[in-house]
């Protein structure tokens, strides 16, 4: 996971086989592994959630909750943060934008989990393609959107 940077971009194609059960797509953990979660991207009851633990580490800030029905078909997901703007795209369509100055601890010892959470047993039921994580300012904005399908 990008270290010591507040700005990042995560991109991946996804196909969900089920969107009703609780499933973790991506999460970032503090080290050691039994420590708290920094963020979680998850599916639950037909919605896609992105939650970030606040700077005190005590509660989660709900950044996004969007309808996940489209994810039952292969969909390119892009999640980015630039400054205080979090953005979520499905393909080249901006699904949600949220402003927050919450800090994500991006230490180099953090663990980045893909497709599941071993502590809750909430494995993702579906397919995640080539995952790309970049640090620094996002390549995408309201005028420069991600490609509708993965280009890598």
Confidence at 122, pLDDT banded by 50, 70, 90: confident
**What is the tens place of the pLDDT at every residue in 32-49?**
544 555 778 888 889 888
Q: What pLDDT is attached to residue 152?
A: 46
Of residues 108 and 17, the one with the higher pLDDT is 17
Express each pLDDT in 93-115 by its tens digit: 888 888 876 666 555 556 677 88
The reported pLDDT for the residue numbered 63 is: 76
Specify the DSSP class assigned to residue 146.
P
Q: Quote the tokens at residue 73.
A: 């078909």
pLDDT tens-place string over residues 48-103: 888 877 656 666 677 788 999 999 999 999 888 888 888 888 988 888 888 876 66
65 vs 47: CA distance, rounded Å: 6
| % of the chain at pLDDT higher than 90 | 11
Per the CB < 8 A criterion, the answer to whether 38 and 110 are in contact is yes
Instruction: Indicate the pLDDT class of residue 2, thresholds 50, 70 and 90.
Output: very low
The residues with which 14 forms a beta bridge, in sequence order, are 75, 128
What is d(CA 62, CA 54) in angstroms, rounded to the nearest whole number? 10
Total-model pTM: 0.79
Phi, psi of 32 (to 5 degrees): -70, 170
Give pLDDT, residue 4. 44
Q: What is the pLDDT of residue 15?
A: 92
Rounded CA-CA distance 33/21 in Å is: 24
Q: What is the pLDDT of residue 16?
A: 92
């Amino acid at each position: 996971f990008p270290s010591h940077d507040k700005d990042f971009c995560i991109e991946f194609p996804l196909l969900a086989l089920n969107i009703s059960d609780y499933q973790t797509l991506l999460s970032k953990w503090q080290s050691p592994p039994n420590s708290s979660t920094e963020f979680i991207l998850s599916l639950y009851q037909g919605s896609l959630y992105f939650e970030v633990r606040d700077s005190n580490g005590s509660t989660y800030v709900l950044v996004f909750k969007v309808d996940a029905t489209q994810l039952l078909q292969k969909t390119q997901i892009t999640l980015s943060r630039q400054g205080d703007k979090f953005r979520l795209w499905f393909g080249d369509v901006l699904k949600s934008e949220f402003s927050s100055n919450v800090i994500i601890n991006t230490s180099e010892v953090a663990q980045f989990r893909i497709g599941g959470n071993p502590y809750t047993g909430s494995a993702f039921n579906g397919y995640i393609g080539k995952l790309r994580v970049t640090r620094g300012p996002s390549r995408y904005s309201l005028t420069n959107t991600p490609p509708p399908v993965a280009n890598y």
